Amino acid sequence: MEARSGLRRLHSIAGLVPVGAFLVFHLWTNRQAARGADAFDAAARRLQEMPLALAAEVLLIAFPLAFHALYGLYLAATRDPGWPSPAPARRVLSRIQRVTGVVVFVFLFFHLWTARLVQIREHSSVDLFRLMQAALASPWIAALYAVGIFAAIVHLSTGVWTFADAWGLLTSRGARAATAAAAAAVFAVLAVWGVAALRGFALKP
C-alpha cells in the first residue's frame, strides 16, 4: 500500500509539475497568436533558441509526461474510480480525470503529428504560425484541437484537487475551499488563453 501511495503521489506531482506547468507555459505562448504571426513566431523562436532546449524538453517534459500518462492509463484500467476514497465527489473527479486523460493522450499524438513532427529535420525554420493556420482552416482539425485543448485544461484544473487530495492537503473546509478556488482559477485563465490562441490562428496575419 505504501508503494502504491508513493506512486500515486509521484503521479500527481508529475501531472502538476512539470507537465501542468508546461501546459500553462504552452498556452501562454500560443495565445501570442492573437497578436498576429510576427508575435507568435517570435515567441516560438525564443523557445527554440533557449540553451539546452532539446535536453530540457526530453528530461523535464517528455519523461514526466510519459510516466504520468502511462501510469494514469494503468490506474484507469485497474482501479475503481473511487480508489483510494469512496466519497462521491472523488468518484466524479476520478471519472472526469480518466475521460479527459484518454482524450489528451490521443490528442498529444495528433498534435505532435500536425505541429511538431512535420518537417522534423527543419522544424526550427518552419513558419509555425502559418503551419497551424493552414491546419486549423479545416473545421475537423479545428474541432479536434478545441476538444483536445479543453480536455487538457479540465484535466489539469481537476488535477489541482486530486493533487491536494493525494498529498493529504484537504484536511479542513478552508483548505478544500481554497483548492476548489485555485482549480476554478486555473480553468478560467487557461480557457481564455486557449480560446485566444485558436481565434488568433483563425485571423489573417
Residues 4-43: tens digit of each pLDDT: 678 888 999 999 988 999 999 999 999 998 888 888 888 8
Instruction: Report the CATH number of the 2-202 domain.
Output: 1.20.1300.10
Let me know: does 188 contact 22? Beta carbons within 8 Å: no
CA atoms within 13 A on the CB side of 166: 23
- The C-alpha cell of 118 is what? 512535420
pLDDT in tens, 72-99: 999 888 887 766 666 777 788 889 999 9
Q: Which pLDDT does position 205 carry in this prediction?
A: 54
Tell me phi and psi for residue 36, to 5 degrees. 110, 175
- In whole angstroms, how far apart are CA 60 and each of 2, 53, 65, 67, 95? 26, 10, 9, 12, 27
Q: Which pLDDT does position 124 carry in this prediction?
A: 56
Q: Which pLDDT does position 3 carry in this prediction?
A: 56
Q: Which pLDDT does position 83 carry in this prediction?
A: 64
Q: Which pLDDT does position 57 carry in this prediction?
A: 82
Q: Which pLDDT does position 82 carry in this prediction?
A: 63
Residue-averaged pLDDT of the chain: 86
What average pLDDT does this structure show over 172-199? 95
What is the percent of the chain with per-residue pLDDT over 70, rounded to a whole number? 88
Handedness of CA 163, 177, 104, 194 (dihedral sign): negative
What band does 144 get if pLDDT is binned at 50, 70 and 90? very high
For residues 139 and 135, give the distance between their C-alpha atoms in angstroms, rounded to a whole number.
9
> Does the structure show a pLDDT above 60 at 198?
yes
> Does the structure show a pLDDT above 60 at 119?
no
